[in-house]
């Protein structure tokens, strides 16, 4: 579409350009790009999470380009300046299922004129997309780096022998002495979009509090392993994951709004940078991004992924997260399964000191160094074992 706002007001580092690519699985996809000046460079695809944008990779793109890569970060389906998606709550939900999200990225590779990329790198909700890219098309995605969200493999078929009916985790959370609810299922409710988009504190302050409380800047983040998928264990997590039952997300994070001094000290997310997120989500709303969560929590979409039951990620794999990130423990057992079974060639694993959930923004130099080390190792392995 030609009516998209001009992007020159984005506070991008020198060396990053923005452009649109038509037609990518029905989308007009907006991408940020670095290292594009030289032909035939190995390509990296960077996939953002929620509530993020391609802009979330701004601190990594130029250093990765300087290391010799062609670096591309798209606004994924439902986000930012990419268009062509249906953002209605009652619209086509299957467009946001994992198989179609992978199809988006595969189509982007095709539109770039490539047959493969050196690595697909995903953060938060972008991490499982990257993981499934590597699982489903290892011929195209030669290595994978996942951040903040461990991947524990495709869903299995139900056992042949009947098993006892599992407890209802939502009923169990609601029945706690302090009633709680899981944020992913809350994000699937019809009210969630308006709760955040039209919150009393304003969308900019919502973003500031949300980013702050999930970062290492909030002293309350002291994550640790959880023993099981039970209400009592999940309730040990902060309320931005296991919410109070009578609160929406804007109400949940409001008490954690940083002080003016804390905002000034937050060099990893300045007010000018924060305004980009607030502006994009004010324009689009959250619903299209929240459709991802509706698919992730719908058993019907899990059935689709049983097509890959028993498969593992066999390309070189890397996992990076902040050491103050509760996200890596929110699904008990996933971290261990990723390392021990789901990825057969996990060569690098790192928890970055001084970073919370937004690891690539909070500690970009450390993350960049880790990625370059991993990518170098993966390329060397490929030369040794073609």
For 46-67, write each residue's pLDDT tens digit.
Answer: 999 999 999 999 999 999 999 9
Least confident of 162-166, 276-280, 318-322: 162-166
How confident is residue 379, by pLDDT bands cut at 50, 70 and 90? confident
Q: Give the C-alpha separation, 223 to 182, whole Å.
A: 17
The DSSP annotation for 53-69 comes to: -GGGGHHHHHHHHHTT-
pLDDT of residue 3: 45
Cα 57 to chain centroid distance, Å, stands at 11
pLDDT of residue 384: 58
The Cα-based distances of 160 to 140, 163, 167, 234, 344 in angstroms read: 35, 9, 19, 29, 27
How confident is residue 180, by pLDDT bands cut at 50, 70 and 90? very high
CB–CB of 136/104 below 8 Å? no
CA angle 34, 323, 143 (to 5 degrees): 45
- What does pTM read for this prediction? 0.96
Q: What is the pLDDT of residues 121-130, one digit of tens each?
A: 999 999 999 9
2, pLDDT greater than 90: no
How confident is residue 386, by pLDDT bands cut at 50, 70 and 90? low
Going from N- to C-terminal start, the domains of the chain cover 16-155+299-384, 169-290
More confident call, 385 vs 87: 87
CB–CB of 298/187 below 8 Å? no
Portion of the chain with pLDDT greater than 90, in percent: 91
Q: Which CATH superfamily is domain 16-155+299-384 in?
A: Alpha/Beta hydrolase fold, catalytic domain (3.40.50.1820)
**Tokens encoding 72:** 């591309």
270, pLDDT greater than 50: yes
pLDDT of residue 373: 97
31, pLDDT greater than 90: yes
Cα 336 to chain centroid distance, Å, stands at 19
């Amino acid at each position: 579409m030609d009516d998209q706002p001009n992007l020159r007001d984005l506070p991008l580092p020198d060396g990053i350009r923005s452009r649109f690519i038509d037609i990518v699985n029905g989308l007009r996809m907006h991408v940020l790009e670095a290292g594009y000046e030289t032909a035939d460079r190995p390509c990296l695809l960077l996939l953002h999470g929620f509530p993020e944008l391609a802009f979330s990779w701004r601190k990594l793109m130029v250093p990765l380009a300087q290391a010799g890569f062609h670096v591309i970060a798209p606004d994924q389906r439902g986000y930012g300046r990419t268009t062509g998606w249906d953002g209605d709550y009652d619209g086509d939900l299957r467009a946001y299922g994992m198989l179609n999200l992978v199809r988006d990225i595969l189509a982007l590779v095709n539109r770039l004129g490539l047959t493969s990329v050196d690595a697909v790198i995903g953060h938060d909700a972008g991490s499982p997309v990257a993981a499934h890219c590597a699982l489903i098309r290892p011929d195209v995605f030669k290595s994978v780096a996942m951040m903040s969200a461990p991947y524990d493999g495709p869903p299995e078929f139900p056992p042949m022998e009947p098993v006892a009916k599992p407890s209802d985790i939502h009923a169990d959370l609601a029945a706690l002495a302090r009633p709680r609810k899981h944020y992913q299922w809350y994000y699937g409710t019809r009210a969630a979009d308006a709760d955040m988009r039209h919150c009393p504190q304003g969308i900019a302050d919502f973003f500031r509090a949300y980013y702050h409380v999930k970062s290492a800047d909030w002293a309350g983040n002291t994550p640790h392993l959880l023993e099981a998928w039970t209400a009592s264990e999940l309730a040990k997590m902060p309320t931005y994951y296991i919410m109070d039952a009578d609160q929406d997300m804007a109400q949940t994070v409001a008490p954690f709004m940083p002080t003016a001094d804390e905002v000034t000290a937050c060099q990893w997310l300045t007010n000018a940078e924060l305004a980009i997120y607030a502006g994009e989500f004010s324009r689009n709303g959250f619903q299209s991004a929240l459709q991802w969560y509706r698919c992730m929590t719908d058993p019907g979409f899990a059935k689709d992924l049983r097509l890959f039951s028993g498969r593992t990620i066999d390309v070189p794999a890397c996992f990076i997260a902040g050491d103050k990130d509760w996200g890596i423990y929110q699904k008990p057992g996933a971290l261990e399964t990723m390392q021990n079974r789901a990825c057969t060639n996990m060569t690098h694993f790192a928890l970055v000191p001084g970073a919370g959930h937004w690891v690539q923004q909070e500690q970009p130099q450390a993350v960049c160094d880790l990625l370059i080390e991993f990518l170098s190792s993966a390329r060397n392995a490929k030369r040794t074992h073609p």
